[in-house]
Amino acid sequence: MGFKHILVALSTATFALAASPVGTGTWTSVTASFDAQECAGGVVNGNTFKLPTSPNGSTSGSGCSNGHLRAERRYKNDYTSGVHQFGGQFQITSMTGNKISLKQTFNGDDGPYFIMGVKSNGDLYDVEGGATIASGVATVGTTVTINTIHDANNQLYDVYVNGKKTFSTSAPGGSFYDKCGAYTSDSGTGAITVIWSDVSFWTQ
Ligand SMILES: *[C@@H]1O[C@H](CO)[C@@H](O)[C@H](O)[C@H]1NC(C)=O
């Protein structure tokens, strides 16, 4: 194989791994920096988000006042209007807990708006409304691709699991940003270790 062929093969492989936008229209890539939030024993280590079984009792740190286990990235992609897409892949590498948030779209004016959680049976669900987003897809060792599209102008929110739209809901007005990682919901428990990769943002 010639050098040129190797380069073509490499770039094709890289492209196949990178997150891509879903949905119609033209998407422009956006770069967003983030802060890591670790609460009550949660640990962020690069792309790995780890929660122990139960909180350590500490409520100090950014986003830790409710004492919940948290190991999350708070992306600084804040917006109040426009159409915004999040994309990324997660893989749970171990889990003994239940009802753990993996991805949030936070409304800075109003608290959490959309929270996608995982149950111990691998179901992805809408923590706020309770509806199932995808049954049994998020089992230990399986890579799952998530895209969300938030049309803040028309107050619509869609969730795509492995490239298929499986959930839609309405959105309030407000100032939004995305989070991913692991965070125990009100009725949730640790432990979990989850890896997020290829987290990307686009707008149109
Ligand atoms: C609890 O865990 C957090 C990190 O998630 C850490 O900052 C804090 O020091 C720990 N507190 C105790 C009492 O171990």
Task: Kindly list the domain boundaries of the chain, sorted by start residue.
Answer: 3-203
* CATH T-level fold of 3-203: Jelly Rolls (2.60.120)
Q: Is the Cβ atom of 118 under 6 angstroms away from ligand 1?
A: no
Q: Is the Cβ atom of 181 under 6 angstroms away from ligand 1?
A: no
pLDDT digits (tens, 9 = 90+) for 3-28: 455 444 444 444 445 689 999 999 99
Contact of 103 with 117, CB cutoff 8 Å: no
pLDDT digits (tens, 9 = 90+) for 54-107: 999 999 999 999 999 999 999 999 999 999 999 999 999 999 999 999 999 999
In the chain, % of residues over pLDDT 70: 91
The protein residue whose alpha carbon is closest to atom 4 in ligand 1 is 41
Ligand 1 geometric centre to CA of 40 (Å):
5
Measure the CA–CA gap between 194 and 163, rounded to whole angstroms: 20
Q: Is the Cβ atom of 56 under 6 angstroms away from ligand 1?
A: yes
Ligand 1 geometric centre to CA of 108 (Å):
25
**Residues paired with 49 in a beta bridge:** 44, 194
